[in-house]
Structure 1
Amino acid sequence: MKKMMVMMVMMVVSEASIIEKTCKETPDFNLCVSLLHSDPRGSSADTSGLALILVDKIKGLATKTLNEINNLYKKRPELKYALDECSKRYKTILKADVPEAIEAISKGVPKFGEDGVIDAGVEASVCEERFEGKSPLTSLTNSMQKISNVTKAIVRMLL
């Protein structure tokens, strides 16, 4: 019984150290650790698996942002031009960038995965720039840029 408990503790320490070791190589250690520990797959993932988890986080945030954009059309019709641009940008993340990153990382071609991840951050930035003055999407845009930067750092470890 004691031996089994020691082995379980060693596994947990080993799993945590893989996430922590990987996240130390990213621009935002705390965000990286938080995102990876929030997904049950993180505890048993290798570097490619960690990158795929983060791509899923990009997908989730893009979906959340697109839903917020759709809500803003009703609440803030004066922002239609900027919201149209943002809608287009976030649909690109969901329909092009995320699938490109998933396929490339899964097939062992991380360079193309990196391109998709970088583009997700660029698309979010372009969306933010379309607002004249205060954007109602700044928080979500900043989150997308941060997650994209963390993901990019992990994908680069695969190169």
Structure 2
Amino acid sequence: MDANLIAQTCNQTPYPNLCVSTLQSDPRSAKADVKGLGIIMVDAVKAKAHEANLRVEELVDKDPGNVALQDCRFNYDDIFQLDIPQAVEAFGKDDYKSAELGMTNVVANEDSCERRFPGGSPFKDESQALHDVAYVAAAIAKVLRS
């Protein structure tokens, strides 16, 4: 594993420790360049979004009339149908500006959902984890643009 490349890349993100631990936990990082690290981080975003969405769905099932939860469901639909696919496609085409935008849109959708709950959502831990990895993925895309 190229610990130097991971450290250099992660030091340019808002959450370097999260970045390093996420990338080191994925065996693909061993042979990845910076673009590969970005793709791995987008996969981590997908996993965190899935965890958060499972919580949203579980809560919607318990309280189907909750408008805030229903709205969050739409936010997560956008994350899965628009934002993550945009980033995946953009990384594949070396379009790092669009990759960064896809990941910042994940953050915006997550923030929009979270703001519907005064004092935080009942899934704020999952939401925060998604927020943080998406910001890291956006930062890696930004590194590739420079």
Runs of 5+ in structure 2 lacking a partner? none
1:64 maps to 51
State the secondary structure of the residue aligned to 1:158: helix
Matched, 1:96 2:79: no
Question: Which of these residues, 115, 138, 145, is aligned with residue 152 of structure 1?
Answer: 138
Q: Which amino acid counterpart does residue 116 of structure 1 have in structure 2?
A: G
In the aligned structure 2, how far is the partner of 1:115 from the partner of 1:134?
A: 25
With structure 2 as the length reference, what TM-score do the two structures score? 0.93
Q: Which has the larger radius of gyration?
A: 1
CA deviation after TM superposition for structure 1 residue 79, in Å: 6.5
Q: Which amino acid counterpart does residue 44 of structure 1 have in structure 2?
A: K
1:22 maps to 9
After TM superposition, list the pairs within 5 Å mapping 1:5-44 onto structure 2.
Answer: 12=1, 15-44=2-31
Runs of 5+ in structure 1 lacking a partner? 1-11
CA deviation after TM superposition for structure 1 residue 47, in Å: 0.7
In the aligned structure 2, how far is the partner of 1:79 from the partner of 1:32?
A: 37
1:113 maps to 99
- Residue identity over aligned pairs, in percent, reads 36
Matched, 1:130 2:143: no
Count matched residues: 145
With structure 1 as the length reference, what TM-score do the two structures score? 0.86
In the aligned structure 2, how far is the partner of 1:99 from the partner of 1:91?
A: 12
